[in-house]
A and B are shown apart, each in its own frame.
Chain A
Amino acid sequence: MGLLSDPVRRRALARLVLRLNAPLCVLSYVAGIAWFLALVFPPLTQRTYMSENAMGSTMVEEQFAGGDRARAFARDFAAHRKKSGALPVAWLERTMRSVGLEVYTQSFSRKLPFPDETHERYMVSGTNVYGILRAPRAASTESLVLTVPCGSDSTNSQAVGLLLALAAHFRGQIYWAKDIVFLVTEHDLLGTEAWLEAYHDVNVTGMQSSPLQGRAGAIQAAVALELSSDVVTSLDVAVEGLNGQLPNLDLLNLFQTFCQKGGLLCTLQGKLQPEDWTSLDGPLQGLQTLLLMVLRQASGRPHGSHGLFLRYRVEALTLRGINSFRQYKYDLVAVGKALEGMFRKLNHLLERLHQSFFLYLLPGLSRFVSIGLYMPAVGFLLLVLGLKALELWMQLHEAGMGLEEPGGAPGPSVPLPPSQGVGLASLVAPLLISQAMGLALYVLPVLGQHVATQHFPVAEAEAVVLTLLAIYAAGLALPHNTHRTQAPDRGWMALKLVALIYLALQLGCIALTNFSLGFLLATTMVPTAALAKPHGPRTLYAALLVLTSPAATLLGSLFLWRELQEAPLSLAEGWQLFLAALAQGVLEHHTYGALLFPLLSLGLYPCWLLFWNVLFWK
Chain B
Amino acid sequence: MAAAMPLALLVLLLLGPGGWCLAEPPRDSLREELVITPLPSGDVAATFQFRTRWDSELQREGVWINLGRSSVMSSQGSSAPLSTSSTPPTQSLPLPPSNPWVWPMTLTTTFCAMLCCRGRWSAPKTSPPGRSSCPVVPRASLISFHLLQAGLSVLLKADRLFHTSYHSQAVHIRPVCRNARCTSISWELRQTLSVVFDAFITGQGKKDWSLFRMFSRTLTEPCPLASESRVYVDITTYNQDNETLEVHPPPTTTYQDVILGTRKTYAIYDLLDTAMINNSRNLNIQLKWKRPPENEAPPVPFLHAQRYVSGYGLQKGELSTLLYNTHPYRAFPVLLLDTVPWYLRLYVHTLTITSKGKENKPSYIHYQPAQDRLQPHLLEMLIQLPANSVTKVSIQFERALLKWTEYTPDPNHGFYVSPSVLSALVPSMVAAKPVDWEESPLFNSLFPVSDGSNYFVRLYTEPLLVNLPTPDFSMPYNVICLTCTVVAVCYGSFYNLLTRTFHIEEPRTGGLAKRLANLIRRARGVPPL
Contacts and interface: CB of A to CB of B under 8 A. Distances in A.
A174 B195 CA distance: 14
B463 A202 contact: no
Contact of B139 (A10, A139, A200): A139
A352 B414 contact: yes
Contacts of B92: 102, 134
A313 interface: yes
B503 interface: yes
Contacts of A1: 489-490, 492-494, 496-497
B89 A5 contact: no
Contacts of B88: 137-140
A313 B496 CA distance: 43
Contact of B416 (A7, A141, A202): A141
Contacts of A111: none
Contacts of B503: 7
Interface in A1-57: 1-2, 4-5, 7-8, 10
A478 interface: no
Given A1-B497, A5-B497, A139-B88, A350 B410 contact: yes
Contact of B467 (A7, A8, A215, A313): A313
Given A100-B200, A137-B142, A217-B464, A7 B413 contact: no
A141 B464 contact: yes
Contacts of B198: 136
Contacts of B504: 7-8
Nearest to A313: B312
Contact of A137 (B139, B162, B295, B500): B162
Interface in A534-578: none
A355 B489 CA distance: 31
Interface string A46-87: 000000000000000000000000000000000000000000
Contacts of A171: 200-201
A97 B38 CA distance: 19
A462 to B, nearest CB: 36
Interface residues of B, number: 51
B465 A136 contact: no
B306 interface: yes
A311 interface: yes
Contacts of B489: 1
B224 interface: no
Contacts of A202: 310-312
A79 B492 CA distance: 74
Interface in B49-98: 88-90, 92
Nearest to B491: A1
Interface string A164-181: 000000011010000000
Contacts of B500: 5
A312 interface: yes
A120 interface: no
Contacts of A172: 200-201
A351 interface: yes
A350 B413 contact: yes
Interface string B145-168: 000000000000000001111110
A263 B48 CA distance: 50
A201 B88 CA distance: 24
Contacts of A312: 312
A121 interface: no
Contacts of A174: 162-163, 201
Contact of B310 (A10, A139, A200): A200
Contacts of B142: 137
B110 interface: no
A217 B200 contact: no
A218 B493 contact: no
Contacts of B310: 200-202
B380 interface: no
B467 A200 contact: no
A201 B311 contact: yes
B502 interface: yes
Interface string B235-270: 000000000000000000000000000000000000
A360 B102 CA distance: 51
B92 to A, nearest CB: 7
Contact of B412 (A2, A10, A201, A354): A354
A142 interface: yes
B524 to A, nearest CB: 33
B318 interface: yes
A355 B474 CA distance: 8
6 contacts: A7-B503, A8-B504, A97-B295, A136-B166, A140-B88, A200-B312
Interface of B: 88-90, 92, 138-139, 141-142, 162-167, 198, 200-201, 295, 306, 308-312, 318, 320, 410-414, 416, 462-467, 470, 474, 489-490, 492-494, 496-497, 500, 502-504
- 10 closest Cβ pairs, A-B complex: A1-B493, A201-B310, A139-B88, A351-B412, A100-B200, A136-B165, A351-B413, A137-B167, A141-B465, A354-B412
Given A102-B92, A137-B142, 11 more contacts: A1-B489, A4-B497, A8-B504, A136-B164, A136-B166, A137-B141, A139-B90, A171-B200, A218-B309, A218-B465, A312-B312
